[in-house]
Amino acid sequence: MGCTKPRVIPSGDIADAMEELCISACCNLPEENLKTIEAFAAAEESEVGRQVLEMILENHRLAAREQRPACQDTGLAVVFLELGQDVRIERGDLVAAINEGVRRGYEKGYLRKSVVSEPLFERKNTCDNTPAIIHTDIVPGSELKITLAPKGGGAENMSGIAMMIPAAGVEGVRKFVIEQVRKAGPNPCPPVVVGVGIGGNFETAPLLAKKALVRPMGSRNPNPAYAALEDELLEAINRLGIGPQGLGGSTTALAVHVEYAPCHIASLPVAVNLNCHVSPHRSITL
Amino acid sequence: MAKRITTPLDEETIAGLRAGDQVLLTGVVYTARDAAHKRLMALIKERKELPIDLRGQVIYYVGPAPAKPGDPIGSAGPTTSMRMDPYAPILMEHGMKGMIGKGMRSREVRDAMVRHRAVYFAAVGGAAALVAKRIKSAEVVAYEELGPEAIRKLYVDDLPLFVIDDIHGADLYEQGVAKYRKE
């Protein structure tokens, strides 16, 4: 077998792609988000709830039309990279290129800069929304897929993890997820998208939950048992009564996405990461 | 049918508002969120003058996106109010009569609202481009260095809001869940 010649991607192309992704993700919401909200608006039991969902739809269309961020909280730039192992990045490093793109995108797109450099004492705004939070998977192939999921603080603050014992089982998971959404109430800007990560360990379960949020809204887990769990959780959450913006109603969540991973024989980690109804994300493949 | 109200909020207006009312608010409101509140608290502790006179005023919990050229402000929806709970009762002691945000308030804040006759409103979170259309002017009045967290004086015209907590202790979030929850 001969050597595979690496495919070269200039770091400048990565920065350019990131810049475009930042603006596009915040202003142009995925079509399936709007379709899902429309479907729930048609079925919403509360008149005020319907009115709120209509306002949200109007807002999201306005954002795309006028290229304004749908929400002022344009979040932390959470970046998922699928880096083909046959890619070589030249003329600069990957992380610097991502951050350069975030810096330019948040400036050019009139997006809010929401990062403080240190969490406890000074909390000084970095003023360019860097650094991005970057998760990299090395995958076969010679492409680089970049997914940006700008993540607001309001919904993120309502997230949680439980290190359960295996005996807790499906019922334990169900109770924890529903209770997490119930406790969050109106705070994460319902209707929410619920990302659930089951398995792995203390650091991977939340990452699975976050990855679940970037799936197309309403898509189902390919494993039928997990897809059924998603359906069951969505129905149970929508019986809580929280409703659009917490004002009461039958639309508390737009989707529940569950992701899972192998775990230790002693463990059953479960993480819940919430997203608001804006739920922005965009991908590009170089 | 939404009630039209104007700022500063007077006693008659406040007394007439009930949890669940939809209102269209017109007039001046001031923005402040985490960092600005922390600074206001430090001034109060040192018994120094505040950069704004809070009497009768409404504070909007928002950190707006930057304005595009020609616009007064960028997208400007509400942020989660509970982060300001530790500070809100003290600002009510200094005359604040209304708060705009989203999400639950603590027991302490709700008790303080009854005691000081103040009201809590919610704007539609995440409908930030739409909210910005109702903001006619914006100027930074303190802490410019805080960027999105600076205190801004906004003039809003028919800003659509829901009364969440009134001066009688009622809470729309509790009422809504009680009405639509299915056991």
Per-domain residue ranges for chain B? 3-182
**What pTM value is reported for the model?**
0.95
CB atoms under 10 Å from CB of A8, counted, come to 12
| Chain B 122-161, residues with CB within 8 Å of chain A CB atoms | 122, 124-130, 132-133, 146-149, 160
State the fold for domain B3-182.
fumarase (3.20.130)
A72: which chain B residues are within 8 Å (Cβ-Cβ)?
Answer: 62-65, 74-77, 128, 148
Q: Between β-strands A160-164 and A268-275, what pairing exists: parallel, antiparallel or unpaired?
A: antiparallel
pLDDT of residue A2: 56
| Cβ A190 vs Cβ B80: under 8 Å | no
* Closest C-alpha to A250, from A262, A232, A260, A236: A236
- Cβ contact B125–A154 (<8 Å): yes
Q: How far is B60 from chain A (nearest CA, A)?
A: 14
> Domains in chain A, start-ordered, CATH in brackets?
7-26+70-151 (no CATH), 154-280 (3.30.1330)
Residues of chain B scoring pLDDT < 70: none
* pLDDT tens-digit map of B124-177: 999 999 999 999 999 999 999 999 999 999 999 999 999 999 999 999 999 999
Write down the pLDDT at residue B183.
77
Could you tell me whether strands A282-285 and A144-151 are parallel, antiparallel, or unpaired per DSSP bridges? antiparallel
Show which of residues 71-130 on chain A sit within 8 Å of chain B, judged by CB atoms: 71-74, 110-114, 123, 125, 127
For A269, residues 6+ apart whose C-beta sits below 8 A from its C-beta are A161, A162, A163, A164, A197, A198, A199, A200, A201, A202, A204, A205, A263
pLDDT score of B1: 79
ipTM beyond 0.90?
yes
Q: List Cβ neighbours of A159 (8 Å cut-off, separation of 6 or more).
A: A180, A206, A209, A271, A272, A273, A274
Question: Which residues of chain A fall short of a pLDDT of 70?
Answer: 1-4
